[in-house]
Structure 1
Amino acid sequence: MFLNQTTQTQVKLIMSANINGLACILFARRILLTAGAIACAILPLTGNTQPYTPDSADRIVETLPTAIVELAADIRRTQRSPSNSTTENNADIMQRAMDSYQVALATGEARAYGRTLSILHSWPERENKPVMYHILLAAVLQHNHEFDAALEQLQPVLAAETNGTDRLSPSQAQAQTQALMMQSQIGLVTADYALVKQSCNRLQDSARRPVFVNCQAQLDGVTGNTGAALTLIADTFRTGTDLNTLDYQELLTTAAVVAHRTGEQSQAEAYYQGAMRFAPDNNYLNVNYSNLLLEQNRLDELIALLSPDADSTMNAELRILLARALRARGAEPDREQAAEIIDVLTQEFELALMRNEAIPHKEFAQHSLYLVDSPVAALSAARENWMLQKEPSDTRLLAQAAVANDDQETLSEIEQWINDVGTQDVRLQAILTANREPRS
């Protein structure tokens, strides 16, 4: 099992651990990585931002998701019924943190992530922390784009010693594998490819081969070795050795994304559809496959794929894609539905500002660029996003925002950067080629 992909590379990482007799399962998704403070002209966030106060006690400010209501009830129960012993307290902290994190994953709510962080920070300062504590805290920090802090939390897990034996215990080995996968994903997002290589090398020595293959293929896929990435995955499929269902899903996803970047659209589609048979609700897969459909102007298929889930629980990036497809198809009902989606997204950004919460750079940039015709705000948000994460989709978004603002300096900066790191992405290259200033 391995944590795969990006953009909100949205993938599932599953791990079981026994902590003080408590069985825990951590589900971490890379699409997790969508939160961060945004600094742009029309949505300034400053320390002086004042809380929103309704003008009437009857005014509905927001309808809370059911999961958030349940989380609030859990907080009240916890406050009324504290545990009695230190051992019970520590086990209870981990259980409550896991429960809160599951709500965060299910809803994407910043408040649930904040609650998880608060629970973890309640751990007694002088008491040793179990490995799951570090991994769970790292996952929340990763979601919040606090990548350095997340990496710091992984270090105690990665540095675990063998206690005089030749090998780590099974639980230590499993924890280290998970930490290495998380470390590699942070390296991929931040374009720290030396860190990814280091993680892959350790996985090659300590993890199941499919885990290493996925890590190496993802690294090859962003450093100019896309052919090697696809060959490595194809060879792994051909042998079929040591592959489980999750392995197939993850490797198919990696292959689909790499093939998509290289312009092999039919191959990419076959891989996407194969992966979606294993994980039809995976946000990362749906975002990338939806982009492929949009690029091919297959609007009916895209709308049919996303419309059944077109409600407030659907990932913001998917709702943006659905609104774009509906507007492009252009029938009056489509335009009305698109307008409703845009209004809801706009209100969500405004509510986040009222609560003085962080706004995800990437989704806000997409909203500004594609839906509300605010290219200046889009460029500001896309650049803030690119300062934190430099996956190919982040770079494409910055390039598209730069084109909308006729910002040749940013386009030149992007071109230099991809030449330096070896990024292969036909869509990004097409943007740069079409908008390159002619030489005098």
Structure 2
Amino acid sequence: MRRMTALLFLVVSSLAAITAAGEPSTPANDEEPLERLPRGAARVGDALRARSMDSSSALRLARKYVRLGAEEADPRYFGYAAAALAPIWRLAAPPAEARLLRAMILQNRHDFDGARADLDAVFAVDPGNLQAWLMRASISKLQGRFDDARASCAPLVAAKDPLLAVGCVSDVASVDGAVDEAADALERVLEERASAPAERRRWALTLLAEIAARRGRSDHAERRFTEALQIAKPSAYLLAAYADFLLDEARFADASALLAEATRMDAALLRLALAERRLGSPRLREHIVELSERFAAGRRRGEALHLGDEARFALYLAGDRAEALRLAQTNWRVQRAPSDARILLEAASASDADESAREARAFLLRAGWDESRLARVVEAARAAAAPIAGR
């Protein structure tokens, strides 16, 4: 990741840069909260003020906050993790675990090049670090660098962990023109590795569910999503992916029930509001206002982490086609997952931005979608993007 005053300044600067960037806002009155902090927010500050953050404690605290950030899809936890790691960068040779944790933080901030640099430093001292190779493959896939992603999966194959290796390769292949082969290979190895750790099986089941949904195999997708939800505590990613599937299946009541207790997560609240729009829920207005406030809070912190979701909000809940297209195009320049291509297609179709629509369509076809489903998505986007009645 001197004197104690300089160290504390570095820690505070690290936290401020990630969690509190941007212009300050002024509350309307003394009782209005600027922002609701996630649980555990005070612990980092307490530990730092106590000046008790040795390297071991810093790593332990950073691990905790990275895990919470991933579980709850809350970038503020990654900010706390960065603050906890700050003392370590004074060491002559920061440990590989610190670089791996910082790579996770940078990945969350969409600083993919910075994350790759830290991962390369990990490989220099620990070339067999499977978590680092899996992360590198994921980053490369998100950037559309599929050859590099496949190369990053190779060490997993050498490690003789079939589920991890095949999952890595299948994840890449499924968006690069080999969706059928990817699904078949992962199905086989998952059946063979029934004793694999629960978290790993959940990851593989989620991949299979998403692939099945892209292929239009709804019954199989439902089965795999259900298995994933039952095998271990649902992650924020799994909840959002399953909710998207339910919305596509017009199972709006099921989506609402799934997300009703998860609204602390922005992605869950967005999808709940999308379901409520179709259900005519009286709470829709309240949730639209809350989402708008959350996106604004993220901008005040200097974050631009959920542009795809913000584009969906602009298109379907705010009725702002131009803003939706701007956000979707900006998001596409940074990351290229199927969900990113889809919102680009939807926003571009709603605004008659033909070039962006063609690029998104080509990506989705390569990722397993067919023309009939694409046509339905385009038609729905054009119809649903109109402003909500009464706005």
TM-score with structure 2 setting the length: 0.83
Q: State the alpha-carbon separation in 2 of the partners of residues 227 and 204 from structure 1.
A: 20
1:355 deviates by 4.3
Q: State the alpha-carbon separation in 2 of the partners of residues 251 and 193 from structure 1.
A: 19
Q: Does 1:79 align with 2:49?
A: yes
Q: Write the deviation string for residues 247-290 of structure 1: whole angstroms up to 9, x where unpaired.
A: 33222211111111111111111111111111352222222222
The verdict on how the C-alpha distance between 1:294 and 1:207 changes in structure 2, with shifts beyond 3 A counting, is: same
Q: Write the deviation string for residues 104-131 of structure 1: whole angstroms up to 9, x where unpaired.
A: 3455444332232233233243521112
> Are the counterparts in 1 of residues 341 and 361 from structure 2 also a CA contact under 8 Å?
no
Q: Which residue of 1 aligns with 2:97?
A: 132
Q: Which residue of 1 aligns with 2:14?
A: none
Q: What SS does the corresponding residue of 1:159 show, helix, strand or coil?
A: helix
Q: Which residue of 2 aligns with 1:329?
A: 279
Q: Which residue of 1 aligns with 2:325?
A: 379
Q: Which residue of 1 aligns with 2:37?
A: 65
Q: What SS does the corresponding residue of 2:94 show, helix, strand or coil?
A: coil
Q: Write the deviation string for residues 81-108 of structure 1: whole angstroms up to 9, x where unpaired.
A: 446xxxxx22233233234434534554
The verdict on how the C-alpha distance between 1:226 and 1:342 changes in structure 2, with shifts beyond 3 A counting, is: same
Q: Which residue of 1 aligns with 2:335?
A: 389
Q: What SS does the corresponding residue of 2:26 show, helix, strand or coil?
A: coil
Q: State the alpha-carbon separation in 2 of the partners of residues 285 and 431 from structure 1.
A: 24
Q: State the alpha-carbon separation in 1 of the partners of residues 152 and 202 from structure 2.
A: 21
> Are the counterparts in 1 of residues 55 and 88 from structure 2 also a CA contact under 8 Å?
yes
The verdict on how the C-alpha distance between 1:136 and 1:66 changes in structure 2, with shifts beyond 3 A counting, is: closer
Q: Which residue of 1 aligns with 2:7?
A: none
Amino acid at match of 2:61: R
Q: Which residue of 1 aligns with 2:205?
A: 252
Unaligned runs of 5+ in 1: 1-35, 37-46, 84-88, 162-171, 436-440
Q: State the alpha-carbon separation in 2 of the partners of residues 106 and 277 from structure 1.
A: 16
> Are the counterparts in 2 of residues 415 and 432 from structure 1 also a CA contact under 8 Å?
no
Q: State the alpha-carbon separation in 2 of the partners of residues 191 and 202 from structure 1.
A: 20
Q: State the alpha-carbon separation in 2 of the partners of residues 432 and 105 from structure 1.
A: 29
> Are the counterparts in 2 of residues 261 and 424 from structure 1 also a CA contact under 8 Å?
yes
The verdict on how the C-alpha distance between 1:157 and 1:204 changes in structure 2, with shifts beyond 3 A counting, is: same
Q: State the alpha-carbon separation in 1 of the partners of residues 344 and 253 from structure 2.
A: 28
The verdict on how the C-alpha distance between 1:216 and 1:77 changes in structure 2, with shifts beyond 3 A counting, is: closer
Q: Does 1:101 align with 2:66?
A: yes
Q: Which residue of 2 aligns with 1:23?
A: none
Q: State the alpha-carbon separation in 1 of the partners of residues 67 and 184 from structure 2.
A: 36
Match among 344, 362, 368 for residue 424 of structure 1: 368
Amino acid at match of 2:32: I
Q: Write the deviation string for residues 123-146 of structure 1: whole angstroms up to 9, x where unpaired.
A: 243521112101100000000000
Q: State the alpha-carbon separation in 1 of the partners of residues 184 and 72 from structure 2.
A: 37
Q: Does 1:301 align with 2:254?
A: yes
Q: State the alpha-carbon separation in 2 of the partners of residues 295 and 415 from structure 1.
A: 17
Q: Which residue of 1 aligns with 2:187?
A: 234
Q: State the alpha-carbon separation in 2 of the partners of residues 380 and 92 from structure 1.
A: 43
Q: What SS does the corresponding residue of 1:430 show, helix, strand or coil?
A: helix
Amino acid at match of 1:117: A
Q: Which residue of 1 aligns with 2:384?
A: none
Q: What SS does the corresponding residue of 1:182 show, helix, strand or coil?
A: helix
Q: State the alpha-carbon separation in 2 of the partners of residues 291 and 139 from structure 1.
A: 25
Unaligned runs of 5+ in 2: 1-17, 381-391
Amino acid at match of 1:53: T
Equivalent residue runs for 1:312-327 within 5 Å: 313=264, 315-327=265-277
1:318 deviates by 2.0
Q: State the alpha-carbon separation in 2 of the partners of residues 134 and 144 from structure 1.
A: 15
Q: Which residue of 1 aligns with 2:8?
A: none
The verdict on how the C-alpha distance between 1:146 and 1:79 changes in structure 2, with shifts beyond 3 A counting, is: same
Q: Which residue of 2 aligns with 1:203?
A: 156
Q: State the alpha-carbon separation in 2 of the partners of residues 262 and 229 from structure 1.
A: 12
Q: State the alpha-carbon separation in 1 of the partners of residues 43 and 162 from structure 2.
A: 44
Q: State the alpha-carbon separation in 1 of the partners of residues 124 and 248 from structure 2.
A: 45
Amino acid at match of 2:272: L
Q: Which residue of 1 aligns with 2:219?
A: 266
> Are the counterparts in 1 of residues 179 and 367 from structure 2 also a CA contact under 8 Å?
no
> Are the counterparts in 2 of residues 117 and 137 from structure 1 also a CA contact under 8 Å?
yes
- RMSD between superposed Cα atoms in Å: 2.7
Q: State the alpha-carbon separation in 1 of the partners of residues 168 and 89 from structure 2.
A: 36
Q: State the alpha-carbon separation in 2 of the partners of residues 243 and 415 from structure 1.
A: 36
The verdict on how the C-alpha distance between 1:244 and 1:51 changes in structure 2, with shifts beyond 3 A counting, is: closer
Q: Does 1:181 align with 2:145?
A: no
The verdict on how the C-alpha distance between 1:310 and 1:110 changes in structure 2, with shifts beyond 3 A counting, is: closer
1:404 deviates by 1.2
Q: Which residue of 2 aligns with 1:410?
A: 356
The 10-residue stretch of structure 1 (422-431 or 203-212) with the greater mean CA deviation from structure 2: 422-431
Q: State the alpha-carbon separation in 2 of the partners of residues 289 and 119 from structure 1.
A: 33
